[in-house]
A and B are shown apart, each in its own frame.
Chain A
Amino acid sequence: MGLVVATKAFFKLMFNRELSDSFQQLVDGKALPAPKTETKAVASQPKPKPAAPPKPSRNDAISLLAALQREARLIDLVSESLGDYSDEQVGAAAREVLEESGKVIHRMFALAPISSAEDGSEISTPESFDPAEYRLTGNVTGEPPFKGQLAHHGWKATKCEVPAWNGSSKANHIVAPVEIEIG
């Protein structure tokens, strides 16, 4: 029985390119690609790109820098020597860059103030609190809850969605590629 199946399989694999590719992948321990939907348009083209296999991950910090440069040119701005320019020149460039940087940061982190109170208003900390969430300044004495004036409402990220990196490990540290204009 096993031999019959094996022989059948042999001829099937021998003469069916797609099947044999799948078999090879199976042997190699790779997941099978999803079955293709056959269309005329696709038939003449090479096979679909496989799903991105897990790659050596890139540090999210690099991905964030790359996004800030790509969408807002923030790296260009902070790398330039400010002393060479007038406030007006810096301002003109910074307005654009800052607006776009803000969009990137808010899209990825959806930043929200921790405290909804107005600057300067009286607020008090909860009975027990995490010092990471409330920083007390000035004349700090006694036991919580602490009362005082709001100096800064704080920020927290309500999400953290930095783009996933799919590129090669060689390009792991590339923040922005070289750009070449072909005439």
Chain B
Amino acid sequence: MPSKYVIGIDLGTTNSVVAYAPADVDSKSASIELLQLPQLVAAGTVESLESLPSFVYLATEAETNNQSLDLPWPSEPRTAVGQFARTRSADAPNRSVVSAKSWLCHHKVDRRAPILPFDSPDDVGKISPVEATRQYLAHLAAAWDHKFPDAPIQQQQVVLTVPASFDPVARELTRESAVAAGLPADFVLLEEPQAALYAWLNQQGDDWRKKLSVGNTILVCDVGGGTTDLTLISVEEEAGNLELNRVAVGNHLLVGGDNMDLATAHVVAGKFAEKGTKLNPWQSVSLWHSCRKAKETLMSPSGPETHSISVLGRGSKLIGNTVTTEVNKNEIANMLLDGFFPVCNLNDRPQTQPASGFQEIGLPFESDPGITRHIADFLQRSSSNTESDTQPITPDFVLFNGGVFKAESFQNRLLEVIGSWSSDSPVQPLAGAHDLDCAVAKGACFYAWNKNSGGVRIRGGVGHSYYVGIETAGLAIPGAPRPLKALCVVPFGMEEGTQANIVSNEIGLVVGQPVSFRFFRSNQRQSDQPGELVANWEDQLEESDPLNTTLSAAGLDEGYAAVKFEANITELGMFELWCAAVNTDHRWKLEFNVREDAAEEQR
């Protein structure tokens, strides 16, 4: 049965949004709407909102038993997701799962193990990052089926967005959660910054061809609640037509709008302290919320110089216990601008603080919140291995995405800093209305719609090159590991639905017992070809979870098999690596080992 709708899902670190459109290829443009998402906003209270906060609340038995967490559809027995869970995350943090998505791509922990909320006692009924993701998606799927009982999501065309920086393991885990949540098995993964650009393309119609010209480069700068995602897209020409090509993606940066709110709250708490008011933990959380709400007003150049920030009294003596302080708007605005978008040179690098010997196993938050320095670093790295070796790429256009950029002074500062890096024509924002909060979902929906009607597509394939570690043969030296080389198995830019022909020496594999390969990726080494052995990579390769397989010995005479690697990127954007026997028809799939090793490392 052909699908009736195309659906775009933005599974965000802090908020999820669903956009949809009729899958009608005859119409000239996609009429995209946002799905209203019924969710608990308080115990026993269901309201439909445009976004589903990505929080899970692990309810107490009493809350579960009095049915106050029931939804209009059959739902999870012991948990609630959405706005209510978000509210609870402030007043009952040890029962609230936050930032599950960032944990999903944190390969120092076992992401299928019940570890969240991190640092909470076990009796709250912890869940795994994979399970939390499944619950968000299951809620979104149920909301869809509730609204469209005659067109269940299983039968629709679904595009789910992930950060461009997500590695194959995080993608695999996302897919696992999504299929378990009831999404159709053939859903497609799309990178978030690309989705944001698709939203712009949809809004522009055919006009985009007039606004961009060959040789232009667009920087997509997506600053969400907890993460920042960077992508470079270039405008090229093929057979007389303009083509868009994704040329580089940045690292996964754990810095975003939440950091800014916290920074503001920190300064304001200092003002209270000056006046002799010490805030208790509840007031501090409340202050954080007030600062989030005041951010736009504080950043707006118009209006009075000072702004008062109040923390309401907690009990029924609301007025009596309210504390207030005046803040100077410029002071806060400058602190945020200089802290998060500092003026810097293209040669500047993010500042790394010397790592302490003892470190908490938690999310690897960025030690440098200066987003402009991360952008400089990203641009330098992206150009270091492309043809334009001598001249770093500087973008001609910037596409802003994420709620943070509702404050125009952030946009202006970013443009000013990037503009100072190039003497050529000044950098410009991509003009046109852009829904900073919902563009990713809308763009994902447009991508699906577009796929049916054969419209514009951003090309680019995979944003990294991938490697397996091979120990070199040689005489063993006691105490020294054998030198490791990295065999390129997937070249940068390999397209979906293609296979890499890996020309390499045969590799001998032991059969009948598990074998493991170390696995690496790079977003800098763009010219390595499949089969190439890399011996020195300094900091250009980044290690990911190992790959493992057990080779069944059935039908093999010898105790080992001579194999070569085969790599596929499926149509759906998933990564597959196989070992194929050279002399027989045997093939073994390599799977990511996200369990044991990671768990051991943790101990």
Contact = CB atoms under 8 A, between A and B. Distances in A.
Interface in A126-183: 161, 163-168, 171, 177, 181
Interface in A7-33: 33
A40 to B, nearest CB: 8
Q: Dominant SS at the B interface?
A: loop
B77 A167 contact: no
Contacts of A121: none
A77 B319 contact: yes
A166 B67 contact: yes
Interface of A: 33-34, 36-37, 39, 41-42, 45-52, 63, 66-67, 70, 73, 76-77, 79-80, 82, 84-85, 89-90, 92-93, 95-97, 99, 161, 163-168, 171, 177, 181
Contacts of A51: 70-75
A138 B313 CA distance: 45
Interface string B546-587: 000000000000000000000000000000000000000000
A93 B314 CA distance: 12
B130 A70 contact: no
Interface stretch (B44-52, B338-346, B399-407, B472-480): B44-52
A65 to B, nearest CB: 12
Contact of A163 (B41, B70, B75, B310): B41
A73 B312 contact: yes
Interface residues of B, number: 46
B312 A48 contact: no
Nearest to A82: B319
Interface of B: 38, 41-48, 64, 66-78, 127-128, 130-131, 134, 138, 180-182, 282, 290, 293, 308, 310, 312-313, 316-320, 322, 324
Contacts of A33: 74
B316 to A, nearest CB: 6
A168 B180 contact: no
B282 A181 contact: yes
A49 B68 CA distance: 11
A172 to B, nearest CB: 10
Given A165-B45, A167-B68, A47 B312 contact: no
Contacts of A163: 41-42, 45-47
A63 B48 CA distance: 14
A70 B86 CA distance: 13
Contact of A73 (B41, B69, B74, B318): B318
Nearest to A90: B319
A79 B316 contact: yes
Contacts of B319: 77, 80, 82, 84-85, 89-90, 93
A91 B130 CA distance: 47
A48 B128 contact: no
5 closest A-B pairs by CB = A167-B44, A52-B70, A163-B47, A39-B180, A76-B318
B72 A49 contact: no
Contact of B134 (A39, A50, A79, A164): A39
7 contacts: A41-B130, A49-B74, A52-B67, A85-B319, A90-B319, A96-B290, A96-B322
